[in-house]
Amino acid sequence: MEASEKIILVEDDPGMGRLLKNTLMTEGYNVEWVEDGTDAREMVTGGRFDLLVTDLYLARLNGPELLDELQSMGIRIPTIVITGRPDYRQIVRFIKDGVYDYFTKPLNLEEFLASVRTALILSKSRANILRLEKEEAKAPPIIGNSESIKRVKEIIHRIASLNSTVLILGESGSGKGLVASNIHYLSPRKDQIFIPINCGAIPDTLLESELFGYERGAFTGATFRKVGLFEAADKGTMFLDEIGEMSPMLQIKLLRVLEDKTIRSVGSVRDIPVDVRIITATNKVLKAEVMNKRFREDLYYRLNVVPISLPPLREREEDIPLLVDFLIEKYNLNIKVSDEAMQVLLKYSWPGNVRELENVLVRSSILSKDKKLDVDFLPPEIRYAELKALSISTDEFFYKKARLEFEKKFFSILLARVDWDVTKAASLADVSKSYIYDIIKKHNIQLPIK
């Protein structure tokens, strides 16, 4: 559960300021709103922001002056400019200064949010490059010692140095993005940009211009040439998550990138050569999508050069304690999971995989007391997962059968927890020892040989 990106918004129109702040916060961003450039300058110089969204004309220290002052102090922050009075000479200057995008009022909020998303992707990627220039490039750790995870790590190390496309298959939350970044940071491209983009998170009508860019005049509102993510990722790696959500038209354009190593921006007649390694991922069965004519067969075979299948968390139970320790340290949770709580975590099926485990630990740590995470602080769906497993897969619910199944399950768990000590089990269950022996015999519960 990563911290949300931090955006500083500079807008002196109260109505527009409230609209933009609420819109951005609804998307999960952390937004600071100020009404003039001087306040923005102080906040940017005193803290870390991932994106600047500013009006062009402000009462004090307008947009261009604010950017000039920040650049003079060596602060280069990705910027989106908004104005109700477009000045095309300023637009040209902004482009030269590296401003990411430029919008005129009234805003198309859908296009604005798409631009914010991609600007933050580039911001994060460039921040990683600057960080890696100061330290040895390291791939983020893949936690686990299960055989299935060892196989995944082995494949990553074998194919990282190649230039082939990779298709990562796995359920949501299983770590497909982590595998993609490992491939990049273990490859010869590790010092270049790594751009992840979720094809399902951006409206299809906007995804083309985000990936391929557009030329000035390509459509209404295209007041300057916009560089697409493929062009920005030249010499680096592009990770296309949820590739199964891509429209047939964009599938054709992606196929051309793979075959010809060129892109053509919207409204252009000129091909631009690009050197980009493409990694894709999906939680869909792409072969079935091909058979149902929802995904191009020729593109599928282009992408499926090196497939990597990620196991769900429920199939690598032995990795859960390692993941718990790693996540506690990663988020500095300052808690210790009790043995009983760990047993519950091990038996849960984790439909949301590692991402769900991550969220559960952070949420439970807030509720827990005395730095100890006990069973009572786990979410109900996890605490009572064992009882759900007792549901009977028949058309009718027979009380006697349900009672027998519960009885067997209850006493099997109880005996295992007291190391098969019948006296202790009888005391805890408040029954006689002979009753316990009758249960063992009736349900044929196998006691371990000591």
Reported as a single tens digit per residue, the pLDDT across 57-99 is: 887 777 778 887 787 676 778 888 888 776 666 665 665 556 7
Q: How many residues does the chain have?
A: 450
How far apart, in whole angstroms, are the C-alpha atoms of residue 84 and residue 104? 5
Determine the pLDDT at residue 362: 85
**Per-residue confidence band for 396, with pLDDT thresholds at 50, 70 and 90:** very low
Q: Looking at 14-28, 147-161, 213-227, 426-440, which range is the least confident one? A: 213-227
Q: Within the chain, what is the greatest distance between any pair of CA atoms?
A: 93
Residue 239 burial (CB count, 10 A): 25
φ/ψ of residue 156, rounded to 5 = -55, -45
- Give the model's pLDDT for residue 134: 45
Over residues 397-405, the mean pLDDT reads: 66
Half-sphere exposure of 103 toward its Cβ, with a 13 Å CA cutoff?
19
CB-based contact 190:129 (threshold 8 Å)? no
What is the phi-psi region of residue 48: left when phi exceeds 0, alpha when psi lies from -120 to 50, beta otherwise? beta
Q: Is the pLDDT of residue 31 over 90?
A: yes
Q: What CATH number labels 147-311?
A: 3.40.50.300
Pairwise CA distance, residues 45 & 26, whole Å: 26
Element (H, E) at 54: strand 51-55
- How many beta carbons lie within 10 A of that of residue 140, not counting itself? 12
Phi/psi at 93 (nearest 5 deg)? -65, -45
State in words which class domain 6-120 has. Answer: alpha beta
In terms of Cα–Cα distance, which of 229, 315, 245, 312 is closest to 280? 245
**Ranges of each domain in the chain:** 6-120, 147-311, 314-385, 399-443
Q: Which phi and psi (to 5°) does residue 202 adopt?
A: -110, 130
Residue 33, CA distances (Å) to 13, 26, 40, 149, 178 in order = 11, 15, 9, 45, 33
What is the C-alpha separation between 201 and 326, in angstroms, rounded? Answer: 29
314-385 matches 6-120 in CATH topology: no
CATH code, residues 314-385: 1.10.8.60
Cα–Cα distance list, 120 to 66, 145, 175 (Å): 20, 34, 21
Q: Is it the case that residue 237 has pLDDT exceeding 50?
A: yes
Give me the pLDDT at residue 447, please.
Answer: 67
CB 159 within 8 A of CB 183: yes
Strands 262-263 and 272-273, bridge-based pairing: antiparallel
Residue 168: which H helix or E strand, with range? strand 166-169
pLDDT confidence tier of residue 392, bands split at 50, 70 and 90: very low
Average confidence score pLDDT of the chain = 84
Residue 217, token pair as written in the block: 């005049």
Over pLDDT 70: what percentage of the chain? 86
Long-range contacts of 214-220 (CB under 8 A, 24+ apart): 214/265, 214/266, 214/267, 214/268, 215/265, 215/266, 215/267, 215/268, 216/267, 217/267, 218/265, 218/266, 218/267, 218/268, 219/266, 219/267
Whether 43 has a pLDDT exceeding 90, the answer reads no
What is the amino acid identity at position 213? G
